[in-house]
Amino acid sequence: MSIKRVILTSLFCVAMLFAAGKKAEAAFPYDMEQKPVMAASIKSEKVSVYEDVSLKKLLKEVNGSKLNIEAYRVSGKSIYGKYTSGKESGFGWFSLDTFVVDPDYKNVYATVRDGMYIYTNRSFSKVQTTIKKYSGIIVISKKDGDRQVICDKKDHYEIGWMTAGAFSNTLLYDGREKQTVADGIYEFGCGYQDDKNGGAKDQTEMEGYQKYTFKIMHITQNKYYIQNTEDGKYLSVVFQSVSRENAAKGKKGSYKLCWTEKPEEVRGRFELQRLNGAYTIQNVSSKRFLAEEKDSADSVSLTLFTGRSDIGSHWRIHATQKMSNTKKPFVITQYDPEWCATPYGGGGCMGTAGCGILATVNAVYALNGQYMDVMELANYAVKKNYRIVGSGTDDGIFKAAAKKYGKKYGFAWDGGSGSIDVLKKKLKAGDTAIVHVQGHYVCISDYNKKTKKYLLLDSNYLPKRATSAFGDWIKVDRLLSGALESQYFYFFKLSEK
């Protein structure tokens, strides 16, 4: 075998191992540092405890049959936390397969449709805990139809087992983190004058500031890398210390912005925090806020502020084109455990009656990458009597939502039609659509002129509609008859800046 082939083979193996590790890591809750995952060992023999994430520095060995962990972190195929094993206890790293049957399993998110038992192991002889109707689970392993799952217990998570029969009574959903803004390229401008409606009528203040085109990439919990689209560099910060002489005079060092060739994992993280129609962008490492300031010559430059009260740190993030993810669409579902069981207007809950609300949220997110507050919109629908108990949501909510929340979330009403031809025309022009089908609302976010298919996002997939929780490309004939026969289309477009 040639040296080149050996190198390529080695690189491929490393890449596969890295990908497998990332897959295992992604299976665990992103907030486990705040809400630990409780688990019992599935090993009966001695288990190694390590000092390091790479599992090379052995601390000790403990009895696997008595081992329990309160885990705070998963990295690759390693898990870290506080452990107990008989009289022994401490902190350390373990191989993930100490607690998880199949660390390579591609995790699945689901909502249970009834209260269920979670068991300690696959003998199903001992109940570990119970979970309520409409609770969420993460499936992390599968064995002969039975599932090893992570369930949410409010202040912590637990790993246990669910029977194959119980799992058949669940609804799958896309468990990716909800981002306040979707990944993509946006126009950033500061000086935005916010108010309770999402923005004042007079935005002349923004004219004195520069506009930037940045690409943002989500890391976790609304923390992002920010990339300059002109030169490909990433935003970061550096701490500039002062000389001993200046320090003796009481002067202190300060954080400065800088640009790096690659994203910096620690100092290159920025958290997007929504005010209303504006955002603040806070560097996680320095706790400083990205801002723009004017000098004596009235020119502006990017800088860092210690606080966020100044209008120079209030950013408007605006999509200049449709942000629909056609390769891996994100469908926000009615039965997401975050709101599934929440009552919706005195009769029924969001899981059973919230299709009009979720169709709106999906349409806006696909349009401009802005994540609407689901329950904010639902409560508004109830307050303004758009909620029809026993039926769902009146279609007047769509135009009303654009009027009420258009400034805040950057979208506008673009009319309605019963014509498929108008639908195609509007989608090509950059709109997204809410579609009234038989007894239900869905979203259509895009049209592929090559395949002549429409991208449909169904917040409550059912066998009769032959849809999924992950988006479906469908032909026009499905919109002309059957369970997806379209009654009317309601359109949203990008708003003015």
pLDDT tens for each residue of 248-292? 777 788 999 999 999 999 999 999 999 999 999 999 999 999 999
The domain ranges of the chain are: 3-98, 108-173, 205-318, 350-494
Residues 439 and 353: beta-carbon distance below 8 Å = no
Q: What is the pLDDT of residues 66-77, one digit of tens each?
A: 999 999 999 999
pTM metric for this prediction: 0.90
Q: According to the model, what pLDDT value does residue 13 have? A: 42
The class (CATH top level) of 205-318 is mainly beta
Quick one: pLDDT at residue 5? 41
Tokens for 349, please give them: 């809950």
Residue of 2 and 130 predicted with greater confidence: 130
Pick from 155, 28, 178: which is nearest to 96 by CA?
Answer: 28
- The class of domain 350-494 in CATH terms is alpha beta
Residue-wise pLDDT for 195-208, tens only, equals 988 988 888 888 88
- Kindly report the CATH class assigned to 108-173: mainly beta
Transcribe 281-349 into DSSP letters. Answer: EEETTT--EEEEEE-TTS-EEEEEES-S-SGGG-EEEE-SS----SSS--PPPTT-TTTTTSB-TTSSB
Encode pLDDT of 168-224 as tens digits: 999 999 999 999 999 999 999 999 999 988 988 888 888 889 999 999 999 999 999
Is residue 9's pLDDT more than 50? no
Name the residue with tokens 């990339």: 227
Which of the four pLDDT bands, split at 50, 70 and 90, describes residue 22? low
pLDDT surpasses 70 at 149: yes
Pairing of strands 37-40, 157-162: parallel
End-to-end CA distance of the chain: 59
Tell me the average pLDDT across 309-335: 95
Q: At residue 23, does pLDDT exceed 60?
A: no
pLDDT the model gives residue 14: 37
Report whether pLDDT(490) > 90.
yes
Instruction: Give the residue among 170, 177, 163, 176 at the shortest CA–CA distance from 137.
Output: 170
State the average pLDDT for the chain: 92
- The pLDDT of residue 8 is above 50: no
